[in-house]
Amino acid sequence: MWTASLAPRTVTTYSTGYQSYLNFLIRYQLCHPLRNHHQLPVISEILLQYFIAYCFSVLHVQCATVKNYLAGIRFVYLRAGIDTCLDHPTAPSMSRLQTLLRGYKKLHISSTKKRLPITYNILTCIVAALRNGVFGAHDDLVMEAMCSLAFFGFLRCGEFTCAKSFDPEVNVCIKDVVLHPSQAKCAVNLKTSKTDPFRQGVTVNVFATSGSCCPFSSMRLLMFVRLQCGAKPCDAMFTDRGGLPVARSAFLSWLNIVLCRIGLNPSLYSGHSFRIGAATTAAHVNIQDHMIKTLGRWSSDCFTRYIRTPEDDIRRAHSSMARS
């Protein structure tokens, strides 16, 4: 139940945070490496302050990452029934740690690159390249279906790929994809996602389009191919030509190759670029905000930070203001 209380990626982040704390203690001889593994190392306010400084000067991680590391450390001790200074948010010790983190954030120069959106125009170029042949007939079809679904479904990369190994209880299976030919609709059941920690599941519908990129058509064709290959209901929907489920790393590798093929710099894009591009494209064609929120399953107006405004739109806005 302790493990189930966290999302899988949170478990990984917390484990990394706690391991980083152990490495810090061992590196500076504050903890013996051969200690009893059933006994948690010492923890105190001053050690956490030095750990924050260690993250800044040695690990060079983002301030938000340090906060997650501290949360991970707290979780480990909380599970062991040990009360720490991290459990008292109003205590003076936490105020000192928060002050250090504010200083950390001001001093740390972010190296995070701003991800560019994969808009509909870029998606059409990706699909055209795949249809001309990049990885082979099967993998090209799989990639086309994944990209089209990611864009029109406003999906996060982790929602349609698997991490390291395929889990039918988490990842998209054959049975999770239902085609409705009479409605020209493909319904995809996402069993888990970032905003669904209790795994209640959500259905994402994508419809046929009149454009060159049609998520319904590509998903229908892929479903036909998968069933022809003898795929069972609990098998992965997206597999490579060798039958292996497409992992996040494999999808991103494919994406980089295709982006290079169409003349774009892959370092400026990521798996999340489809979700950003979908929001940007929707705003560009004047889809109302409440519909963008619905399409992207946002519960707040945070989607606005995904929308990239072209300079031409700003130029036209200024011209309109001058004519008022």
pLDDT attached to residue 300: 76
Backbone φ and ψ of 206, nearest 5°: -125, 140
Does 138 score more than 80 pLDDT?
A: yes
Three-class SS of residue 190? strand
**C-alpha dihedral over 279, 283, 289, 290, to 10 degrees?**
-60
Q: Kindly list the domain boundaries of the chain, sorted by start residue.
A: 8-107, 120-312
Q: pTM, whole model, 2 decimals?
A: 0.74
Q: Is the model's pLDDT at 31 over the cut of 60?
A: yes
Comparing 74-78, 146-150, 219-223, 295-299, the range with the smallest average pLDDT is 295-299
Angstrom CA distances, 164 to 135, 247, 251, 271, stand at 21, 6, 12, 16
Chain-wide mean pLDDT for the chain? 89
Proportion of the chain above pLDDT 70, given as a percent = 93
pLDDT band for position 3 (cuts 50, 70, 90):
confident
Please state which of the four CATH numbers 2.30.30.280, 1.10.443.10, 1.10.3210.10, 2.60.40.10 is assigned to the domain occupying 120-312: 1.10.443.10
pLDDT tens digit sequence for 189-219 = 999 877 666 677 899 999 999 888 999 999 9
Q: Which is more confidently placed, 41 or 324?
A: 41
- Is 8-107 assigned to CATH 1.10.150? yes
- The pLDDT of residue 322 is 64
